[in-house]
Structures are given as C-alpha cells and as structure tokens.
Amino acid sequence: MMGIWPYISDAFSPSERWGNPKKVNGLLLLLLFAIRMLSKQFMGINCAWESAGHASNGQHPKGNAVDWHFSGSDIPFYNQIELLETILKKLQVWDRIGIGIYPAWNTPGFHLDVRGEHAEWGWTGLVDEGGNKIYVSYSEAKAFAEKL
C-alpha cells in the first residue's frame, strides 16, 4: 500500500482497526503521527473509516475521523486529556479539529477529526431510555474524567 503509510510506519500500520485504511484522510494520519511522536505514547486505534455505529453524515464515513486511546499508558485519563490538548494547541490545529473525550469507554479514549473547524463534546456513560448515548459538554466530560 502506498500513499502516506510508508511515512508513518514507525507509529501505525494499515492492518490496524481503521476500517478501510485507503479511505482515511492523509491529514488525519499525519496529525495522529505527530501526536504519537510528541506524546511518546502508543496509540490503539478503535475505528476510523466506517459508518457502522456512526452518523451517516458525520466525519467517520468521510474518512476524516478516528476513535482511539493511548495504549498501555500509566498516565491517568484526565492527564491524557491535558497532554492531548497541549499537543493539539502546540501543533496549531486546536481551532480546526473535532475532539470528543470518552472517559466512560472500557478503555477511556478520544474521537479526533479534521473537519476544519473546532467542535468538542464528551460522553460519561449516560444513555436514554432507548439505549442511545447522551452526549455532554467537553468540560462536563473532562470534570468527570478528573474524578476517575
């Protein structure tokens, strides 16, 4: 497989859980690579390009989004959030990305996308009567993570 993959092979492989790795936006892959290098943390990919479980008009089916977590890290999740925020601001992309924080996942993690404008949210494990996730503000999810 050609494209961006040879340049990021020290951090990621197309055989990870991307969905279809050929459909993942190269800018997103470069951003993930920069996060990996600056954080010095391994990253586990939960999913990227796919529509199952994601809004059909969202960033995942466009290839612009990935759900992931720091893998094998002993850093508390709240500090992982702060580390990621610092890196995204240092890279001057904070105002151009969508970021979701998910402290209630089995392995707490993140949504990151390259939508071109800033959006933020979180999920703390709340669901409605129909089993649908109830999303909360980024600050609420971050406060929830601080208590973990």
pLDDT tens digits along 65-75 = 999 999 988 99
* Sign, CA torsion 140/142/147/148: positive
Whole domain around residue 108: which residue ranges? 5-146
Predicted confidence band at 62 (pLDDT cuts at 50, 70, 90)? very high
Residue at token pair 């992982």: 80
pLDDT of 84 higher than 70? yes
CATH number of the domain that 56 lies in? 3.30.1380
C-alpha distances (whole Å) from 36 to each of 8, 42, 98, 145 are 10, 7, 18, 21
Backbone φ, ψ for residue 141 (5° rounding)? -65, -35
Query: How many structural domains is the chain composed of?
Result: 1
113 touches 28 (CB < 8 A) = yes
pLDDT of 107 higher than 60? yes
pTM: 0.92
In this structure, are strands 43-47 and 119-122 parallel, antiparallel, or unpaired? Answer: unpaired
111 touches 65 (CB < 8 A) = yes
